[in-house]
């Protein structure tokens, strides 16, 4: 599984990507996106540092880092680029300081798409050149992830192998490691009336906010809850924070369900065939598509869809004491229905 390119003389040239980071990216950000000169230069430097660290990794390690982003990179340009190259762009470029300029600054989705599209060809040259002539960096940004979060690393490795095999179930050995503690909430997350008012950290912010920590604790304590997310990158684009979250959930037997993945403590499931498109606004749309699902993965998705649709219907029904055909429910059934709704409400508040 390799991503590489060559120049017109037959040899890959790392200089293309170095110029991209030092000249092209800063110019695009300052001229087209109105990013400050200082921040634009920092973004270019960060992308280059991430590329150097990524280039030092072997193929299995690269596949682990790509795995959380594979669901979203299918739509990356150029469309004919390999998954490995698109994944490298997601890790090196999309998850760099560029995210800060997107989350809290002037870079919109169009700017992100433009820069990531332009990054693919020179990054291909860079990785191919470093494979032929490795360069050692003093501090590899990704070197400690496998040892620090062994469960998450092993599980994402299984995801990568399952994806490479066309999908389905892939078991993995759970590493012997202590059960991690709940992360400390370093940032307050005030309650919000609407989605637009919700407190949101940058996707690469390594800190945990109160709401994320609350949800992690509730999932671990409930005993029968799962963690639902449109994609793993929605948890965080910061790989350390993402793996810490996955490590905690898996250590507490909490399955993690995304549009195409099911992560469990001893096995990973990947949708067979073509992955469905991730819809961050309506994740249920992906789960309503059963194509490529099987076994425990299919069963869990079906359960999520059924429960969610039941809750939506209950919320819209002005007569909760009536059955679907309009007949009045017996007192016993009405009580059971109310208890069911109260149980789910309590779980949602935990």
What digits encode the pLDDT tens for the residues 135-185?
Answer: 999 999 999 999 999 999 999 999 999 999 999 999 999 999 999 999 999
The predicted pLDDT at position 340 comes to 52
Instruction: Give me the pLDDT at residue 171, please.
Output: 98
Report the distance separating Cα 194 and Cα 180, nearest Å: 33
Structure-model confidence comparison of residues 9 and 112, the more confident one:
112
- For residue 275, give Cα distances in angstroms to 69, 76, 144, 167: 12, 14, 30, 9
Binned at pLDDT 50, 70 and 90, residue 348 comes out as: very low
The CA angle 297-175-304, to the nearest 5 degrees, is 20
pTM: predicted TM-score of the whole model, two decimal places: 0.85
Q: 221 and 186 in contact (C-beta within 8 Å)? A: no
Cβ 155 vs Cβ 268: under 8 Å: yes
Per-residue pLDDT for 23 more than 90?
yes
Q: Calculate what percentage of the chain has a pLDDT beyond 70.
A: 85
Note the pLDDT tens digit of each residue in 70-115. Answer: 999 977 888 889 999 999 999 999 999 999 999 988 999 999 999 9
- Average pLDDT, rounded, for the chain: 88
Cα 300 to Cα 4, 69, 72, 305, 340, distances in angstroms: 38, 22, 22, 9, 19
Structure confidence by residue, pLDDT tens digits, 298-344: 999 999 999 999 988 888 865 555 544 444 545 555 455 545 544 55
The pLDDT-based confidence of 194 (bands split at 50, 70, 90) is low
Is-contact 238 203, C-beta < 8 A?
yes
Task: Give the Cα separation of 224 and 234 in Å (integer).
Answer: 22
Contact 271, 260 (CB under 8 A): yes
Report which of residues 267 and 343 the model is more confident about: 267
Q: Please count the CA atoms within 13 angstroms of the CA of 121 that sit on its side-chain side.
A: 10
């Amino acid at each position: 599984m390799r991503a590489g390119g060559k120049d017109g003389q037959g040899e890959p040239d790392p200089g293309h990507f170095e110029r991209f980071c030092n000249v092209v990216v800063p110019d695009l950000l300052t001229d087209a996106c109105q990013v400050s000169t200082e921040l634009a230069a920092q973004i270019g430097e960060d992308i280059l540092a991430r590329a150097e660290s990524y280039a030092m990794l072997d193929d299995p390690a690269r596949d682990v880092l790509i795995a959380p982003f594979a669901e979203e990179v299918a739509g990356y340009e150029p469309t004919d680029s390999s998954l490995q190259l698109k994944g490298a762009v997601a890790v090196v470029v999309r998850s760099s300081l560029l995210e800060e300029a997107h989350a809290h600054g002037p870079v919109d989705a169009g700017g992100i798409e433009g820069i990531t599209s332009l990054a693919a060809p020179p990054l291909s040259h860079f990785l191919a050149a470093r494979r032929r002539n490795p360069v050692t960096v003093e501090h590899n940004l990704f070197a400690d992830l496998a040892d620090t979060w062994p469960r998450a690393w092993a599980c994402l490795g299984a995801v990568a192998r399952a994806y490479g095999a066309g999908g389905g179930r892939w078991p993995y050995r759970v590493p012997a490691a202590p059960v991690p503690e709940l992360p400390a909430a370093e940032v307050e997350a005030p309650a919000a009336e609407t989605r637009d008012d919700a407190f949101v950290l940058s996707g690469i912010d390594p800190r945990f906010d109160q709401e994320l920590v609350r949800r992690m604790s509730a999932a671990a304590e409930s005993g029968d809850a799962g963690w639902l997310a449109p994609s793993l990158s929605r948890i965080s684009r910061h790989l350390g924070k993402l793996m810490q979250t996955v490590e905690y959930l898996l250590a507490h037997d909490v399955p993690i369900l995304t549009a195409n993945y099911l992560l469990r403590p001893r096995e990973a499931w990947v949708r067979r065939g073509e992955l469905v498109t991730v819809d961050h606004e309506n994740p249920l749309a992906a789960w309503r598509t059963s194509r490529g699902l099987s076994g425990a993965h299919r069963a869990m998705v079906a359960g999520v869809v059924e429960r969610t649709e039941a809750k939506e219907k209950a919320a819209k029904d002005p007569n909760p004491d009536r059955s679907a055909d309009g007949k009045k429910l017996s007192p016993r059934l009405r009580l059971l229905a109310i208890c069911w709704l109260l149980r789910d409400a309590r779980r949602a508040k935990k």
